[in-house]
């Protein structure tokens, strides 16, 4: 984020460009050659025009006689240059554009691959919004200078060509170039340096406006029910005004730069007229040479801007690149083993003296040991923050414990292959996640061996058959982004069906039926028990707890007691209080 010193950004920005060129050398060469040709043609065109006027037009005017050959030569030269220029434009722009698009595509793939392979723990540490912009606008920003880069390279070639021809023509006229070109560079450079902090500030204000709008629309219902629309609009307007001021500051600087950038070359043309007349008097140059050089300066101005575009984009590019690199270089991947899980049918889950803490935090779990016997149901009970969800995550190896072992049918989880692990166990999380896909796609996830019959069976088991049957296109109904067309309870049942469709040997429910009506919840749990899979349930509701064969009572990351619900009710004071709190609240 930090822009550092200007030179630093320039250096690092150039290094990003270097990496981009090394990644797509062919396209870079093609576009730079095209661009260089374009630049040289601009120089050549000026000389051709000057030559034609001096050697074809002026003599014809003087002699009142046209040389057909001369005119033919003129037309051929101008059209030839024009044709070459079209070719050079195609090479430059297509080359630069394709290079930029390919780089964006490549890095978008790389970034999202990291998202898919980094563990959930890493995801938790990063805000959704910033991860989205890492793959979106940051990748775009990192390669934004690529589009004008070949143009800038061609411009440098053009300026070199221009200087050489200027010196070849006349050293005095060349002096105009000697004075003008560095001035153009300097102007561009200072502009970019002064502009980048203003741009960054404006960008920050943009983000702020977006954040406020996002939050306000998120809470639209509260705003409405409390009648605070006017106050919210006032709060928003403050940031809008700040953004406006930031953008106007950008505009003021541009107001200085743009007109100067346009006028400087014209000053060059005028200088050439004065000096050229003097040099004509001394006989050092010809009329056509003066015209050529004057013409040259008028057409140089526009390409020189390309250099400014590249420099101007560098700070944004570096910031984007850094954020992309942060994702690409992130560590902490889980390594999977090669092992398969032998046998089929319900599997036994065993926690053996498991400890876990988040980086830098206090221990979340210590010395946790318990077993879910094959085909049995175990409930995890404990107050908020006792570590229930962490246990659920450990059971599926979404994270690895700091100490101790988690095993499935006596195979340690890290020894299992990713496929074996995903095939054997399934988690239904607290907050349901629904893919922007059809009902079928959401349940089957295109896993092999899950046909429509299996999908329906899973929906039936999850008590979702009735509402799915009522959907306009049944299994083919698209549920929309994040399942917006479904209610909370329907989303939970859909994700439950997804877990069941894979016929897992161990099913972990992390408070997964909270948005479902009590009656429906009871039906679901009954059906699951009957299905005979091993079941680990994180639960608050007493009905869910009572269904379990065994209860593991947790307090502050430790297993306090294990036993049946009745046993714990009888022996554990804390447990009794926790579970009966609902009845207490009724009084």
Q: Rounded to the nearest whole angstrom, what is the least distance from the CB of residue 11 to another protein in the complex?
A: 29
Q: How far apart are CA 259 and CA 240, in angstroms?
A: 29
Residue 320 interacting with another protein (CB under 8 A) = no
Residue 295 interacting with another protein (CB under 8 A) = yes
Is the separation of the CB atoms in 554 and 487 below 8 Å? no
Is the separation of the CB atoms in 17 and 329 below 8 Å? no
Q: How far apart are CA 160 and CA 143, in angstroms?
A: 27
Q: Which residues contact 472 (CB under 8 A, 6 or more apart)?
A: none
Among 55, 244, 412, 529, binds another protein (CB under 8 A): 244
The H or E element that residue 73 is part of is helix 68-117
Residue 578 interacting with another protein (CB under 8 A) = yes
Q: Which residues contact 377 (CB under 8 A, 6 or more apart)?
A: 528, 529, 534, 535, 536, 537, 547, 548, 549, 550
Residue 328 interacting with another protein (CB under 8 A) = no
Q: What is the token pair recorded at 409?
A: 């049918």
Q: Which of residues 14-33 bind another protein (CB under 8 A)?
A: none
How many residues interact with another protein (rule CB under 8 A)? 160
- Could you give the string, one character per residue 213-242, with x where binding to another protein holds by CB under 8 A and - elsewhere? xxxxxxxxxxxxxxxxxxxxx--xx--xx-
Q: Of 182-190, 339-347, 535-543, 560-568, which segment contacts another protein by CB under 8 A?
A: 535-543
Q: How far apart are CA 59 and CA 403, in angstroms?
A: 95
Residue 299 interacting with another protein (CB under 8 A) = yes
User: What is the DSSP code (8-state) at residue 474?
Assistant: G
Nearer to another protein, 14 or 299 (CB): 299
Q: Rounded to the nearest whole angstrom, what is the least distance from the CB of residue 241 to another protein in the complex?
A: 6
Q: Of 102-110, 155-163, 366-374, 565-573, which segment contacts another protein by CB under 8 A?
A: 102-110
Q: Which of residues 59-78 bind another protein (CB under 8 A)?
A: 60-61, 64-66, 71, 74-75, 78
Q: Which of residues 425-444 bind another protein (CB under 8 A)?
A: 425-427, 429, 433, 435-436
CA nearest neighbour of 305 among 333, 265, 343, 272: 265
Q: What is the token pair recorded at 17?
A: 């460009």
Nearer to another protein, 166 or 500 (CB): 500
Q: Which of residues 479-518 bind another protein (CB under 8 A)?
A: 481-482, 484, 487-489, 495, 498, 502, 511, 514-518
Strands (E), 399-527: 403-408, 411-412, 425-428, 506-510
Q: Of 7-15, 457-465, 528-536, 538-546, which segment contacts another protein by CB under 8 A?
A: 538-546
Q: Give the residue ranges of DSSP H helices in 170-228.
A: 171-218, 220-225
Residue 284 interacting with another protein (CB under 8 A) = no
Among 102, 201, 204, 412, binds another protein (CB under 8 A): 102
The H or E element that residue 534 is part of is strand 534-538
| Sign of the alpha-carbon dihedral angle for 247, 250, 252, 254 | negative
Q: What is the token pair recorded at 270?
A: 């005028």
End-to-end CA distance of the chain: 55
Residue 333 interacting with another protein (CB under 8 A) = no
| Sign of the alpha-carbon dihedral angle for 548, 550, 553, 554 | negative
76-80 contacts, C-beta under 8 A, 24 or more apart: 77/48, 77/52, 78/45, 78/48, 78/52
CA nearest neighbour of 535 among 503, 502, 505, 566: 505
Q: Rounded to the nearest whole angstrom, what is the least distance from the CB of residue 86 to another protein in the complex?
A: 5
Residue 5 interacting with another protein (CB under 8 A) = no
Q: Rounded to the nearest whole angstrom, what is the least distance from the CB of residue 422 to another protein in the complex?
A: 3
Q: Which of residues 352-391 bind another protein (CB under 8 A)?
A: 383-384
Q: Which residues contact 544 (CB under 8 A, 6 or more apart)?
A: 379, 513, 521, 525, 537
Nearer to another protein, 171 or 278 (CB): 278
Q: How far apart are CA 355 and CA 405, in angstroms?
A: 9
Q: Rounded to the nearest whole angstrom, what is the least distance from the CB of residue 157 to another protein in the complex?
A: 19
Q: Rounded to the nearest whole angstrom, what is the least distance from the CB of residue 12 to another protein in the complex?
A: 26
CA distances from 301 to 43, 159, 296, 308, 522 (A): 12, 11, 9, 12, 77
Q: How far apart are CA 234 and CA 145, in angstroms?
A: 38
Residue 418 interacting with another protein (CB under 8 A) = yes
Residue 466 interacting with another protein (CB under 8 A) = no
Q: Rounded to the nearest whole angstrom, what is the least distance from the CB of residue 14 to another protein in the complex?
A: 25
Residue 576 interacting with another protein (CB under 8 A) = no
Residue 194 interacting with another protein (CB under 8 A) = no
Residue 255 interacting with another protein (CB under 8 A) = yes
Is the separation of the CB atoms in 188 and 307 below 8 Å? yes
Residue 40 interacting with another protein (CB under 8 A) = no
Backbone φ and ψ for 462, nearest 5 degrees, come out as: -90, 10
Q: Rounded to the nearest whole angstrom, what is the least distance from the CB of residue 336 to another protein in the complex?
A: 10
Residue 448 interacting with another protein (CB under 8 A) = no
Among 23, 94, 183, 457, binds another protein (CB under 8 A): 94
Q: Rounded to the nearest whole angstrom, what is the least distance from the CB of residue 219 to another protein in the complex?
A: 4
Q: Rounded to the nearest whole angstrom, what is the least distance from the CB of residue 214 to another protein in the complex?
A: 5
Q: Of 50-58, 185-193, 315-323, 549-557, which segment contacts another protein by CB under 8 A?
A: 50-58
- Could you give the string, one character per residue 134-163, with x where binding to another protein holds by CB under 8 A and - elsewhere? -xx---------------------------
- Could you give the string, one character per residue 390-409, with x where binding to another protein holds by CB under 8 A and - elsewhere? ------x-x-----------
Residue 560 interacting with another protein (CB under 8 A) = no
Residue 184 interacting with another protein (CB under 8 A) = no
Among 164, 168, 186, 270, binds another protein (CB under 8 A): 270
């Amino acid at each position: 984020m930090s822009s550092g010193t200007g030179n630093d950004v320039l250096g690092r920005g150039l290094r990003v460009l270097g990496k981009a060129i090394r990644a797509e050398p062919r396209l870079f060469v093609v576009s730079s050659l095209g661009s260089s040709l374009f630049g040289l043609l601009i120089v050549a065109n000026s000389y051709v025009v000057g030559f034609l006027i001096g050697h074809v037009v002026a003599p014809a005017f003087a002699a009142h006689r046209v040389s057909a050959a001369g005119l033919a030569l003129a037309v051929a030269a101008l059209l030839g240059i024009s044709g070459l220029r079209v070719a050079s434009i195609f090479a430059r722009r297509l080359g630069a554009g394709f290079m930029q698009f390919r780089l964006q595509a490549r890095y978008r793939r790389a970034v999202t691959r990291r998202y898919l392979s980094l563990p959930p723990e890493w995801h938790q540490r990063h805000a959704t919004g910033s991860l989205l912009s890492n793959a979106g606008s940051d990748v775009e920003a990192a390669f934004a200078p690529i589009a004008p880069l070949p143009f800038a390279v061609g411009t440098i070639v053009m300026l070199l060509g221009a200087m050489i021809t200027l010196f070849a023509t006349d050293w005095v006229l060349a002096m105009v170039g000697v004075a003008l070109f560095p001035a153009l560079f300097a102007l561009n450079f200072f502009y970019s340096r002064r502009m980048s902090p203003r741009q960054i500030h404006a960008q920050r204000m943009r983000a702020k406006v977006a954040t406020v709008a996002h939050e306000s629309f998120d809470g639209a219902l509260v705003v409405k029910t409390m009648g605070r629309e006017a106050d919210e609009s006032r709060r928003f307007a403050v940031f809008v005004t700040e953004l406006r001021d930031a953008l106007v500051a950008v505009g003021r600087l541009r107001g200085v730069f743009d007109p100067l950038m346009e006028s400087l070359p014209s000053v060059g043309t005028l200088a050439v007229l004065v000096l050229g007349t003097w040099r004509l008097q001394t006989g050092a140059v010809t009329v056509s040479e003066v015209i050529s050089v004057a013409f040259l300066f008028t057409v140089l101005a526009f390409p020189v801007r390309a250099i400014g575009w590249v420099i101007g984009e560098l700070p944004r590019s570096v910031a984007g690149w850094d954020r992309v690199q942060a994702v690409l270089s992130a560590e902490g991947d889980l390594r999977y083993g090669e092992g398969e899980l032998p046998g089929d049918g319900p599997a036994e889950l065993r926690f053996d003296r498991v400890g876990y803490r988040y980086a830098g935090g206090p221990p979340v779990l210590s010395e946790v040991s318990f077993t879910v016997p094959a085909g049995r149901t175990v409930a995890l009970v404990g107050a908020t923050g006792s570590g229930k969800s962490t246990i659920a995550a450990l059971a599926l190896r979404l994270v690895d414990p700091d100490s101790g072992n988690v095993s499935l049918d006596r195979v340690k989880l890290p020894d299992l292959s990713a496929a074996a692990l995903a095939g054997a166990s399934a988690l239904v999380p607290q907050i349901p996640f629904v893919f922007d896909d059809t009902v079928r796609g959401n349940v089957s996830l295109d896993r092999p061996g899950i046909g429509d019959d299996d999908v329906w069976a899973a929906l039936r088991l999850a008590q979702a058959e009735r509402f799915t049957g009522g959907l306009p296109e049944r299994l083919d109904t698209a549920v929309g982004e994040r399942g917006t067309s479904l209610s909370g309870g329907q989303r939970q049942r859909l994700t439950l069906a997804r877990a069941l469709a894979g016929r897992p040997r161990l099913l972990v429910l992390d408070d997964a039926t909270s948005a479902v009506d009590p009656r429906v919840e009871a039906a679901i749990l009954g059906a699951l028990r009957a299905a005979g899979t091993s079941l680990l349930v994180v639960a608050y509701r007493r009905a869910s707890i009572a269904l379990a064969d065994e209860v593991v009572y947790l307090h502050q990351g430790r297993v306090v007691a294990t036993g049946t619900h009745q046993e714990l009710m009888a022996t554990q004071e804390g447990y009794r209080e926790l579970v009966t709190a609902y009845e207490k609240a009724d009084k």
